[in-house]
Every structure is written in C-alpha cells, then in structure tokens.
Amino acid sequence: MFRDACPLVVTPAQLQVMRDGAKSAKSPELVVLDASWHMPNSPRNADQDFKRIHIPQARFLNIDRVASFHPLGLPHMMPDAAMFREFCGQMRITPSTHVVLYDTHGVFSSPRALYMFRAFGHTRSSILDGGLPGWLAHGQEYERGEPERIEESRYPLPQLDEQAVKDYDQIVANVERDPAKDPDAFYVLDARSSERFLGTSPEPRPGLSSGHMPHSISLPFSHFIESHTIPDDIAAKYTKELPATYTRLRSNQSLLSALDESLGPERAKEVLDGKRQVVASCGSGMTAGVIWLGLKMLGVEQVGIYDESWTGYAMRVGSKIEKVDLL
C-alpha cells in the first residue's frame, strides 16, 4: 500500500529541506503534525499551546481524541482502523504522504504518535528530534493561530499490526510465565521511574498503586533521551511558550548502553538478536513510545506496547503487583 519507509527520526535541518522541496505549503507529500500531550496534573494545555506557536502549516493531533473508547475510561488508546482513516483524511494525509510528528517537550509524546502510524502500516512517518524547541533552537520559522482550512483526502482502510499492541489478557498470561525459564515469554520493559516501579513513590494518578508486574524490567524512558538547553537568545523570544530545556533521543551507542544496563548483557543480546519479543509499558501507554522508538532505532523488530500500561493493569482487582521490601 505504501512507498518505501522513511527514517524514524529527522533533524530540524532535514525537515526544513523537506519543506523547501514540497511543491506547496499545502502539498499532501509532507504533513507536519503537532502531537503534544501533557500529564493530567500539568497546568499546560497542548491544544492552546499549538494555537500560540507551531511549525508553519502544521496540524494538531489530539492523541486523546484520536483514540478508541475504553470501558475503564483510559485515555489515548489505539484507535481502530476506521478512526485512523478518518483522521488521516481530515489532515489531507494520503498513503504516500511523509508524516512528521513533533511535540513541545522535545521527545516525549511524538514517539507514541509515530508508533500509531507505524502500527497501521504507514511507514512514511518520522518524528522531529528535539520537537518544537529543537526546531526553534535551530532558528527555524514558526507561526501562531489556527491553521488554514484544507481540503480533505481519501485514505484507504488500513490494517493494524496485531503484534504491535498487547492487551490485558496477554499481559496476565505472560505474568504467569517466567522468561528465565520460558523462551516464549516476552520481556516487559517498564518506562516509568524506578521509584514508581519499585513502589517507593506514588503514582501521579490518585488512588492507583505503584509497583510492577512480576518478571517485568525497569527501563525508565529518561534513559533513552538527553536534555538540551535552549540558547539564551532563542529562549528570550519564547519565554511563555517554551521551557528552558528540551529533550532529544540519545545516540545509538547510548541507547545500547542503557539497554545493556537495564536488561543485562545476556537478555539485551536476546532482544537485539530478535530471539525474544519485547513489550514496552509505562503509566498510560504514552512514554512507552520512547522505549519503542529507541529499540526500533537499534533495529529491534519485535517490539509492542501494552496499550493500557500500568494504569489499566493496576486498576483491575486481582492483578499481581510486586513492590520492593524495605524491611
């Protein structure tokens, strides 16, 4: 259905070249989407931020709205094929469109959006490394206000890669299997902080237990990204729109080191050699996308995401939860 795949990550300079090469600002060959998302306890509003400042001709992807209904009320669940098709049509995305996604943190929620496109087979998709802050730090243009109305396009009904999304039943079945003894069990990599994983710090969602699934492995998403400071002359122009720092994806060598440190050399080699399937999880399925992206950058093919992640798992009565023994 689609042309050849595009790189997973592009730089601000590369995106500018692509923009210059597009036939027009409204060309369906390139569509830039702001996929920003903030934690529930954040005072920021991604939709309002977009209206204040965004990359020229960008459109806004509300990850919480392009999402399937969940009986537990969980946000940003993977949309069904019809919903994804409708959104792409509204954004004037065609199967040949190169979609570039970014967020206002740098690298935070855009990997989750990229995961969605890739899971539906739209391999002509990338994230912008450094996001909007990285774009502005490189002296690139911006615009404010609502984007112009565009003519919708037709998008064929895609097929979801079922291996890319794991549900609760699959996770529970895997919890009962010890990966050290069962080569068919998959590794669950938990992207939350180590304190939440161990159960020594509370979850940001009130009433939700911290801790972790049996046999899961702690790999905080922060280990896959690095912080950069916005130059003073740039920051002075955007004091209301941007934080002082932003994040970028680490180098492949740093990603390898983080993976090796968390999994250990033997398990890391299993993953890199494709001998063991990996499933990323986090608080609600958002920053698990960073783990997914990092592993994809390392050439790991068998990477899925537990869509509900810890929120869906811990909300259910009977889910097995482990915590560190402080006594």
Say how far apart CA 272 and CA 263 lie, in whole Å: 11
The one catalytic residue in 259, 282, 293, 314 is: 282
Whether 303 contacts 280, CB under 8 Å: yes
6 is catalytic: no
The angle that helices 252-263 and 265-272 make with each other, rounded to 10 degrees, is 130
Say how far apart CA 244 and CA 235 lie, in whole Å: 7
DSSP letter assigned to residue 223: G
Cβ atoms within 10 Å, residue 248: 19
**What burial letters (b/e) apply to 2-28, b meaning 16+ CB within 10 Å?**
eeeebebbbbbeebbebbeeeeeeeeb
Cβ atoms within 10 Å, residue 213: 22
Specify the long-range contacts of residues 17-23, CB closer than 8 Å, at least 24 apart: 18/98, 18/100, 19/56, 19/57
CA angle, residues 125, 127, 131, in degrees to nearest 5: 150
Which residues, 6+ apart, have CB-to-CB distance to 98 below 8 Å?
Answer: 6, 18, 29, 30, 31, 124, 125, 126
Whether 312 contacts 168, CB under 8 Å: yes
CA angle, residues 123, 125, 127, in degrees to nearest 5: 140
Q: Is 105 left (phi over 0), alpha (psi -120 to 50) or beta?
A: alpha
Say how far apart CA 160 and CA 144 lie, in whole Å: 35
Say how far apart CA 103 and CA 128 lie, in whole Å: 8
Please give the positions annotated as active site.
282
